[in-house]
Structure 1
């Protein structure tokens, strides 16, 4: 059953999403590496790219933007975890 009380996003949040994730990049997929994702994720991303991105972005653009945001938001945490893993056991 759908949540009838689900909060809807404010226009500012929607605009931010578009500004962050639905922008073309200069990344060329042929210069990157292949990765495998689930069919479900692929279908979701495909719909986002073609419908929300108005055909102006590629799957690679979208994934680049998602990962860029992830590393910007969690970069310091990733560095901290990496340093913790590098500590000697004894």
Structure 2
């Protein structure tokens, strides 16, 4: 299983990708809702692996940043398939 994890994250460790200091100085202006079990799991990851040094909002922002980098071409392709121009 570790082999698949390394493939997804490259040669960097999980912590160096997602549990790093963040440029956001505070939480964003929007609230999001996640399943209770996901919130509990995310909070534990931040507390245990991250040592409590990174806020949950920064961890989530890092996850989303990686997701968009990894899937940007697919997202754009699917967007244009479903949003064809009129002319």
- TM-score (normalised: structure 2): 0.80
Which of 58, 63, 66 matches 1:69?
Answer: 66
Which of 18, 21, 26 matches 1:24?
Answer: 21
Which of 51, 54, 57 matches 1:60?
Answer: 57
Backbone CA RMSD of aligned residues: 2.2
- TM-score (normalised: structure 1): 0.78
Secondary structure, in 3 states, of the residue corresponding to 1:72? helix
Question: Aligned residue for 1:3?
Answer: none
Q: Mind listing any 5+ residue stretches in structure 1 that lack a counterpart? A: 1-6
